[in-house]
A and B are shown apart, each in its own frame.
Chain A
Amino acid sequence: MPVRTPRQRRILARVAPEQFVGRGEQLRELTALGSPRAEQRGVLLFASPQSGVSELLRQTFDELFRQRGGPAPVYFAFTRADAATTAAARRFLQTFLTQVVAHRRDDPALVSATPTLRTLLDLAAPQDYEWVERLIQDFERAQGEGDERALIRLCLGAPQQAAAHGARAVVMFDDLQAAEGLRGEVSLGPAVAQSAAQWGVPFVVAGPRRRLLDLLNGSLPLAALEGLRKIHLDRLKEADASALVEGLAQRLGVTLNDETRDLVVQQLEASPYLIAALLDAAHTKGKGLTGFREFLSLYVDELLGGRVGRRYAAVLEEVAAAPALRRALLRVLYEAATNPSSKSPAEVWMKRLGADVHEFDRVVRLLHMHELANFHATYVETTPSAPWRDFLRASYRLQVAAEPRALVVADTLVETLKRAPQTMARHYRRESALGLGRVMRAFNFQSVPVSLLRYDRWARTYRGLAREEARAGLATETDTLPLPQVVHAASCASFHPPMRQLCDEERCTVAHGFETGGYNAGGEVVWIAAEVESKLEAGRALAELWLDRLEQVSQACGFERARFWLVSREGFSADAAELLSERDAYGSCREQLEHLAALLSSEGEGAGEGGADEFAIELPMLEDTELIAAHTVEQIARRMEFQPEAINQIKTALVEACINAAEHSLSTERKIYNRFRVEDDKLVITVSSRGLAVPVTLPENGVADKNGGEGAKGRRGWGLKLIRTLMDDVEFERVDDGTRLRMTKYLRK
């Protein structure tokens, strides 16, 4: 007989635990707050719009409730319906007592009930009776006295009171932003965050990320924030969003096909809230999602009269309660959205809204918080979210232009249908993009075979070889190219908007970085990389066109030193490769890029943690201690069966590296760290020290010149030259403090 797992009962959650997807990591972290061994006592949950933060908290509540013997979960969501701060505080006290008593009695049904305070007292467990009674009496007294501050302090202090009597709780506040529009003397948002931080009770404060950031950056004293864990909740990953759509469709009995599922995810921008709303609407209306038309028809209905539209409308009402202001706001939002740059000067907005400075400030700050617009002090920009812009366009036509509803509905449906194939095409292009930004972020001062960035060399040596053969060949290449460390990479269009017209954002990336030698102006470099679309080898004309474009970007952005890198799936024709060479640009095909990505990630891992075949010693900077390193490496090199001459070279190079570290670092800890990584075909030695960075180009005298007239000073500074001569690869890796020299000797038996 098959074993059946009993379905876990939902208490506050709206989705069954097994159908709650994409938030496993955050859920684990929040439920861990209930553990007595939890390192974190407070969490700030920064939620992006419609990211499903409330469901995450409700799932956490259910999970903690089911864990008997642990602290009682308490979930409290602020709402503008409370109107006043005292009402919100009173409701918090009631919610807190209800949920704690429910947990202590193991009575989940009580959670959704609304018992009076006196009823709760009757229901309280004997060991809780005393503190619950005192809390209620204190509350009734404070309420009678009419002291708002005292009442709020008392209500918000309930978790602390309960904990003092052994009734531990994990308190979760949701929708913190709603606490701020409430009437009253006390600014409840900061008060809640500050009180919670002082309780000594585990808590979560969740709200729109931009509002929480404002709190962090101003309204709250820093001491209240120390030690708080900050979790960012973004939109779902596309795979998780697909799983959510499928799970909901199955649960709600909505028929669905794969193509429509993918469009749902793309059109609704993987938002759990929007997906749930659409699937719920399909269920309610008995409609299937078996084609683009069915889905988009439902989408337009939802946008113009359903839950999605009401949600946007509610936010607009909150932002601009007066109809005239709301109408003006719709107009400027719509106009900004249709403006190619989406931006308008703040003064224009203020004038068009007919608002004074304070009103304007309030409006744009609320729009900014809800991420319906971005306010950057001098200009305002409408957020480029497709559902939001669809809502805006339709609402403008209905409410401002007063167009017939049927026309607006029809046009919106037609437009979204026409856009659907483009939406999917963009998705496919994004998915198939080669990820130049990701590759460049992994550069990190590593050196790679030149063949990976010079297509002509690649074509000469590796084209047509099996992947493994090419990999083996690359591993023995000694002609290497030092890559910079990329400190920032973003789409080219975000630097130079006209590029949006020429290619997808993912396919052209600008990466700012530094070449080996430290973070100084001389080492600054900008790499601009673009994926060139060509089914065959890209020809000279195409390569030239792209190099010109990248050159224009560089000039428009004022980059002083730029390197251009073109990537074409099938590589470049001979004359295109020649052009790249003439213009000192790099060129790679897809296969080169894949080798490069694999190499960068494996070298990054190797350099970081050290594998099983890595030896490490730490030397004090004392007289002759470099000999200990030399003897150690001699033993390792012998085991690897290096030739005696090579062993001597390695020893000498290592001695020189240690001397450099000791002489130049001015290290206060006076230590040299040596690592010896044994690989199949090479020995990689890193010598690092803290302190001053050893100059990458120490004065090199070349050969001894007894007529140089520089005395002893003129005879020094040969260490690096020796190292470079004796070893196969030598490079300085960038470290924040001090110097790390990496030297490689290849095994030639």
Chain B
Amino acid sequence: MSEPLAAAPKAELCELVAVVYAGDYVNKLSGQRIERECLTRMERGCRALVINFRDTELVNSIGVSILLGVIDEAERRGARVAFTNVSLHTLKLFELLGLTRLVLLADSDESALATLEEFSAQPNGH
């Protein structure tokens, strides 16, 4: 079963970037939690989102569709999305469904944050 999501402590360190942890199974329910968390963060002014998949074993197509919704919304608001710690299998799945073209992929939150902080420092509307 999917674990409860928690906003990453690092999100508190930087108001402009939030790290959201996906659970072990990204399905409709856990996908909606990710979505809610990301929307909340964006509403509070986050300009970049890091979704960490370190615990994720399985992602289903409903979960992917919700992630796509998050990406769409982020783009509409001028925010960027990064995926980190994605397992090889999940990565292939994302590639197959074209998600990897739409997000920044990083091995760790640190490298994602470094890239995204750079982005978030730029004026809105870039």
Contacts and interface: CB of A to CB of B under 8 A. Distances in A.
A722 interface: yes
B72 A706 contact: yes
Interface string A718-740: 11001001000000000000000
Given A652-B93, A705-B98, A725-B96, A719 B61 contact: yes
Nearest to A627: B25
A702 B96 CA distance: 9
A704 B62 contact: no
B89 A649 contact: yes
Contacts of A705: 98
Contacts of A560: none
B1 interface: yes
A662 to B, nearest CB: 11
A624 B3 CA distance: 13
Contacts of B27: 624
Interface in A638-675: 645, 648-649, 651-652, 655-656, 659
B58 A718 contact: no
B88 A645 contact: yes
B71 A706 contact: yes
Contact of B102 (A649, A702, A704, A722): A704
A176 interface: no
A655 B60 contact: yes
- Looking at chain A's contact residues, the main secondary structure is helix
A718 B97 contact: yes
Interface in A605-659: 623-624, 626-627, 630, 645, 648-649, 651-652, 655-656, 659
B89 A659 contact: no
- Looking at chain B's contact residues, the main secondary structure is helix
A703 interface: yes
Contact of A623 (B29, B60, B96): B29
Given A703-B97, A706-B102, A722-B96, A645 B68 contact: no
A627 B93 contact: no
Interface in B44-91: 58-62, 64-65, 68-69, 71-72, 75, 88-89
B99 interface: yes
A718 B61 contact: yes
A695 B96 CA distance: 22
7 contacts: A626-B60, A627-B58, A651-B58, A659-B61, A702-B98, A706-B72, A716-B62
Interface of B: 1-2, 25, 27, 29, 58-62, 64-65, 68-69, 71-72, 75, 88-89, 93, 96-99, 101-102
Given A656-B60, A656-B61, A704-B64, 10 more contacts: A623-B29, A624-B25, A626-B60, A652-B89, A703-B97, A706-B68, A712-B65, A716-B61, A716-B62, A722-B61
A-B complex: 8 closest residue pairs judged by Cβ atoms:
A703-B98, A715-B65, A704-B98, A648-B89, A718-B61, A715-B68, A719-B61, A655-B60
